[in-house]
Amino acid sequence: MEATAAEAARTNGRPPEEEARDQSNLVTRLVRGVASQLQRRIPAADLDERDPDYIRENLPAAWLLSSLYFRGEVRGLGNIPEDGPVLLVGNHSGGNVTPDTTVFTLAYCAYFGVERPFYQLAHNLVLSMPGLSFLRKYGTVAASPANAQKALSAGAALLVYPGGDWEVHRPTLDRNRVDFNRRKGFIRLALEHDVPLVPVVSIGGQETALFLSRGDRLARLFGLDRMFRLKVLPISLALPWGLNIGDMLGHIPLPAKITIEVLPPIYLREEFGPEPDLDEVYDHVTRLMQDTLDAMAAERRLPVLG
């Protein structure tokens, strides 16, 4: 009886259940506040922010990182149509530090020249992180249908990773698996703009840390999906943190060899008829990419070393 009285006194006479609900609401409001702050930080799509001179001046630094640290190898760039809009569809690896994007962007810009417009879609959170604003100068825009449409309408090449955060944080055991989580928005985009779809397959990124789990249940439990569009709360062993939960601050990637292969373009309406079935196209593209990834995995003799 004394304990109940003390409890009631501490909670200003309100029952403990009500107090717990208040605290829960407070946490929810706090998280929502942070989420809205972050959403506000996400820059509006402005394709003009891409700066060819900036990219050009930074090519040597990217070349050093790509050639010496990741021993990058990019094959088949000649498969990308010489001009006009094109949708490049890649499998994504490496957690929040994505070496495959660095290696591919360098190779693309060196091959076609920085003058050819090239944009990449990235998760909203990536662009709102402090210190990553330079990505916008490389042509990185927040992933949204509107931004994708703007880029393709401007006649640019657009790199998308349909697997997004789901694929990039897959466990290292599944490193040689293409996993778009049945996301088919990229097919709708290619059909809407009637642009060729070019698969870009990469290997090695998931060996830059030991990814243990996506933590998708944890993400659901904390409501990250609703608030930040995050389907995962990844758990990995990575430098310099050791146990790394969330990978929000990134990590130092191991120097895994990154190999990328660009496949021939797929002209959807030519190959699948005037009204292609999304499931059929999805299965075709992912199977093609998986077969290529299997072949690349067979070439690889040792993890990290390649």
Q: Is 262 in the site for another protein (CB under 8 A)?
A: no
Q: Is 117 in the site for another protein (CB under 8 A)?
A: no
Nearer to another protein, 162 or 255 (CB): 255
Judge whether 162 and 145 are in contact, CB under 8 Å: no
Judge whether 99 and 175 are in contact, CB under 8 Å: no
Nearer to another protein, 50 or 123 (CB): 50
DSSP 67: I
- The single residue among 59, 210, 245, 278 that binds another protein, judged by CB under 8 A, is 59
Give least dist CB 41 to another protein, A. Answer: 29
Which range binds another protein by CB under 8 A, 15-23, 89-97, 111-119, 205-213? 111-119
DSSP E strand stretches across 205-296: 210-213, 235-238, 242-245, 259-262
Dihedral angle at the C-alpha atoms of 65, 53, 89, 40, nearest 10 degrees? 100
- The single residue among 23, 28, 36, 67 that binds another protein, judged by CB under 8 A, is 67
Q: Is 113 in the site for another protein (CB under 8 A)?
A: yes
Q: Is 63 in the site for another protein (CB under 8 A)?
A: yes
Q: Is 68 in the site for another protein (CB under 8 A)?
A: yes
Task: Indicate the helix (H) or strand (E) that contains 139.
Answer: none
Subset of 19-48 contacting another protein (CB under 8 A) = none
| Locus of tokens 């693309």 | 108
Nearer to another protein, 111 or 144 (CB): 111
142 by DSSP, 3-state: which?
Answer: strand
Judge whether 176 and 293 are in contact, CB under 8 Å: yes
Judge whether 247 and 95 are in contact, CB under 8 Å: yes
Subset of 162-181 contacting another protein (CB under 8 A) = none
Which range binds another protein by CB under 8 A, 42-50, 51-59, 232-240, 266-274? 51-59
Classify residue 101 as exposed, middle or buried by CB count within 10 Å of its CB (0-12, 13-18, 19+).
Answer: buried
Q: Which of 50, 179, 44 is nearest to 105 (CA)?
A: 50
Which range binds another protein by CB under 8 A, 36-44, 60-68, 192-200, 241-249? 60-68
Q: Is 57 in the site for another protein (CB under 8 A)?
A: yes
Q: Give me the residues that bind another protein (CB under 8 A), please.
A: 53, 56-61, 63-64, 66-68, 70-74, 77, 103, 106-107, 110-111, 113, 115
